[in-house]
Structures are given as structure tokens and as C-alpha cells.
Structure 1
């Protein structure tokens, strides 16, 4: 049986791997809940609309520094527009 310290160390290692984005459908839900278009998100993140479409579909993942900025935006929306689904997002 692992100790609490061992489990915490394993969790910290996973957290240190970098920001994890919510599933693609949740990315779209959050943007729509905020009332923004893909073009508006693209302008904020200084990217092309097609790039935001690829992020929302899960075809592509943003690279730093946009990855951290996009995650911050999504996290802010998630706090403001929580899901009504009681199951956690992956």
C-alpha cells in the first residue's frame, strides 16, 4: 500500500507536466457560455480563427505561450460558467 507522501509525490509529478485543457466540447461550451465567437477568442490570443477552431475540435493543442493564456481563459470561464453536469470533465 503506498503512503500518502508517495501518492502526493505522484500527483505533484502529474501536475508538473503542464496545463491540461478541458475536453474539446467543454472548450466550445465555455466560449459559447461567455458569448464570444471563435474570431473574438482568436483576436484575444493573437491567433487565427482557424487555429481556435482546431483547438476547440481537439485537432491541435496550442503551444506556449498561447497554451497558458488559453488555459487561463478557459479556467476563468469554467469558474464563471460551471457545468450543470455533476461528473468531472477529463
Structure 2
């Protein structure tokens, strides 16, 4: 039998995986960035990627991959809390 802590750890791992996969639609990504007054270059620098990649994420041409995806999702979630639609 698994302990309560082991079960909680397994659930936390699932929740972390779900959080990484959830990104708002591309247009909302751009809205959140501009509402915060951030440039694509600033986000790219923070995430260790190129400005063109952020532009592609905002246009829907490509999607971020791990580990940037998790960090980008975290950024967007925080911006959404500060700048609701």
C-alpha cells in the first residue's frame, strides 16, 4: 500500500504535468504580453529562447516545448491574474 505522502506526490506530479500543457490561445498570449508592457525579446531572454520563437508561439505557428513550455505557462498564468480579460 502506498502511503498518503506517496499518493500526494503522485497527484502533485499529475497536476504539474497538466499545468505545463495548458496555454491560452495565441491571441491571448500576445494580449497578456502587451498588457504587461513586455516585449517578445524580454520574454525570449527570460525563457532562454529566440524572439522569433515567442512570435511563433503568439501567432500559433509553433508551440513551446519543455522546459520552456512550463515556464511560459507559469508566466502567462501570472499575467492572466494581473491582467484579466
TM-score surpassing 0.5?
Answer: yes
Q: Name the counterpart of 2:30.
A: 28
More helix per residue: 1 or 2? 2
Name the counterpart of 1:51.
Answer: 53
- Unaligned 5+ segments in structure 2 are 1-13
CA distance in 2 between counterparts of 1:72 and 1:56 reads 15
TM-score by length of 2: 0.76
CA–CA distance in 1 between the matches of 2:34 and 2:19? 28
1:62 maps to 64
Aligned-CA RMSD value? 1.8
Give 4+ residue runs of structure 1 displaced > 4 Å after superposition: 15-18
Q: For residues 22-76 of structure 1, what are the alpha-carbon distances to aligned partners after superposition, in whole Å with 9 as ceiling and x for unaligned?
A: 0111000000011000011100001000000000001111111100000000000
How many residue pairs match? The answer is 70
Change (3 A) 1:82 1:49: same
Q: Distance in 2 between matches of 1:54 and 1:46?
A: 15
Q: TM-score, normalised by structure 1?
A: 0.72
